[in-house]
Amino acid sequence: MPLEYYALAMIVAFFVLVMTGIPVGFVVAFVGFVFGFIGFDGWLFELLPSRIYGVVSNYTLLAIPLFVFMGVMLERSKIAERMLDVIGHLCGGLPGGMALAVIIVGVLLGAATGIVGAAIVTLTLMALPTLVRRGYKKTVACGTICAAGTLGQIIPPSLVLLVLADIMNLSVGSLFAAALVPGLLLAGMYLAYLLLLAFFFSADVPAIDEQERAAVSRRELGMDFVKVVVPPLLLIFAVLGSIIGGVAAPTEAASVGAVGALLLTIVSGRMTLPILSETVKTSLRISCMIFFVLIASQVFALAFRGLDGEFLIEAMFEWVPGGMYGTLIFMLLLIFFLGFFLEWIQISYIAVPLFLPFLASQGDMSMVWVAILIAMNLQTSFLTPPFGWSLLFMKGVAPPGITTGDIYKGAVPFVLIQILTLALIIVFPDVVLWLPAVVGW
């Protein structure tokens, strides 16, 4: 039997086992080992120790647990909750002001955590009851929170970008610079949609009650802004600026971010032993999951390539009409579909390497641009009903009275905005490539 048939059987076996509910990391390793032994009697895996050593000794990947710690610490210490309250009151005189505040905090939270699940859960717990209590339409409240929380996929220092940089052999700084403008563009389009909603349907997004606004003076709000919002902003700018500007390596900047988050929590008076303990445990659990999938994917990739899987992928792309753009859209649709069933880390380490050799052979295609398209596409699938992960995260912690229908209906306008933004980035690559060129990446 030709080796390509074994490679095809690997993909089928992978999806069948994933549908049974077995953790993906175990499925990836199991399928890789089984087909590696079927095709090569196991001798192929003599290369495996060196590949695993190359992963665990990768200095750049050390930034992952540090960024995770930074995000979890800021989330556990309730700093994001205080930011939402301050920004919400600053925008409170406008219809839809609290929704605008949720998007702004989503940008800051995405830049601080880079972890979609944590951002969605945090925003849902602290903002959804408040928005509903203040008269917001449930669908608008749910959609706004899901969209804001998912910004962590594309706003640097996103873990998705950090992982894609490693997989695609790209500079972390170049990806962070490339993602900044598209991420802010997407957030700006969310804000524009909410402002239009406030203009035409102000009853769905009412302003904060005047009596409640009067209880807090402008001077107090200004002081709170300086104390609550400015320090996390400075921390984010320090981390991102040092990476994008080439001043510090990602791991060094992540170390600054982790220590900075720790100091912010101490200064805010929120540091306790339980918070520190829970932060360390959660960071360890998330980091172990990422590295386990990373190592398991080496087994799968080694077997798949040994079975000539790359030629199978290349042949599949040759059947797609439309040249470079047809191939690109086909890949994005496939990754979008996978995003319904797999988490981003699994797609990144399993699916993306399968397409990478063919994409790299297209000389006129920027890999930085492709990486941002993949990250934005994953973000869209996370938000799309009925299987979007962000929607499932929200449903898991939403208060009573919020139905699945409310969450799904609320997400649809934001999904359309994301698709529009993705289309703009495909048609106008300079949206992605302008900033990296300016800073010299």
| Among candidate residues 179, 157, 161, 182, the one with its CA nearest the CA of residue 170 | 161
CB atoms within 10 A of CB 51: 14
Q: Which two tokens stand for residue 114?
A: 């880079």
In contact, 55 and 246? CB cutoff 8 Å: no
Q: What percent of the chain has pLDDT over 70?
A: 87
| Among candidate residues 372, 107, 123, 367, the one with its CA nearest the CA of residue 240 | 107
CB atoms within 10 A of CB 330: 17
* pLDDT at residue 186, rounded to an integer: 92
Whether cis (ω within 30° of 0) applies to the bond prior to 157 is yes
* pLDDT at residue 113, rounded to an integer: 58
Q: Residue with structure tokens 């994917």?
A: 297
> Can you tell me the distance from the alpha carbon of 142 to that of 131, in angstroms, rounded to the nearest whole number?
9
Residues 6+ apart with CB under 8 A from 412: 143, 385
3-state SS class at 229: helix
pLDDT higher than 60, residue 1: no
Residue 112 binned pLDDT confidence (cut-offs 50, 70, 90): low
Of the listed ranges 79-88, 97-106, 286-295, 330-339, the one predicted with least confidence: 79-88
* pLDDT at residue 111, rounded to an integer: 65
In contact, 263 and 72? CB cutoff 8 Å: no
> Can you tell me the distance from the alpha carbon of 112 to that of 183, in angstroms, rounded to the nearest whole number?
14
pLDDT higher than 70, residue 213: no
Alpha helices in 151-206 (DSSP H): 159-167, 172-200
> Can you tell me the distance from the alpha carbon of 437 to that of 441, in angstroms, rounded to the nearest whole number?
6
Q: Tell me the DSSP string of 337-398.
A: HHTTTS-HHHIIIIIHHHHHHHHHT-TTS-HHHHHHHHHHHHHHHHHSTTT-HHHHHHHHHP
Whether cis (ω within 30° of 0) applies to the bond prior to 206 is no
Q: What is the mean pLDDT of the chain?
A: 79
Residues 6+ apart with CB under 8 A from 76: 275, 278, 279, 282
H/E element holding 312? helix 309-318
CB atoms within 10 A of CB 39: 18
pTM, whole model, 2 decimals? Answer: 0.78
Instruction: Say how many residues make up the chain.
Output: 441
* pLDDT at residue 190, rounded to an integer: 93
Residue 248 binned pLDDT confidence (cut-offs 50, 70, 90): confident
Q: Which two tokens stand for residue 374?
A: 């993949």
Q: Residue with structure tokens 């804000």?
A: 191
> Can you tell me the distance from the alpha carbon of 188 to that of 74, in angstroms, rounded to the nearest whole number?
24
The pair phi, psi for residue 70, each rounded to 5°, is -60, -50
The average pLDDT across 244-269 equals: 81
Q: What percent of the chain has pLDDT over 90?
A: 6
pLDDT higher than 90, residue 22: no
Q: What angle do CA 241, 243, 245 make, to 5 degrees?
A: 60
313 or 406, which is more confident: 406
* pLDDT at residue 424, rounded to an integer: 92
CB atoms within 10 A of CB 41: 9
Q: At what angle do helices 172-200 and 97-113 cross, to 10 degrees?
A: 170
* pLDDT at residue 341, rounded to an integer: 64
* pLDDT at residue 425, rounded to an integer: 92
Of the listed ranges 149-153, 209-213, 351-355, the one predicted with least confidence: 209-213
pLDDT higher than 90, residue 189: yes
In contact, 240 and 111? CB cutoff 8 Å: yes
Dihedral, CA atoms, 63, 68, 73, 74, nearest 10 degrees?
90
> Can you tell me the distance from the alpha carbon of 96 to that of 102, in angstroms, rounded to the nearest whole number?
10
Say if residue 130 is exposed, middle or buried (CB neighbours under 10 Å; 0-12, 13-18, 19+). middle
Residues 314-359: pLDDT tens digits? Answer: 677 777 776 677 878 888 888 887 776 666 777 777 778 777 777 7
Of the listed ranges 83-97, 137-151, 171-185, 377-391, the one predicted with least confidence: 83-97
> Can you tell me the distance from the alpha carbon of 23 to that of 426, in angstroms, rounded to the nearest whole number?
34
C-alpha R_g of the chain: 22
114 or 343, which is more confident: 343
Q: Tell me the DSSP string of 23-75.
A: -HHHHHHHHHHHHHHHHHTTGGGGGHHHHHHHHHT-SGGGHHHHHHHHHHHHH
Q: Residue with structure tokens 């095809």?
A: 8
Residue 416 binned pLDDT confidence (cut-offs 50, 70, 90): very high
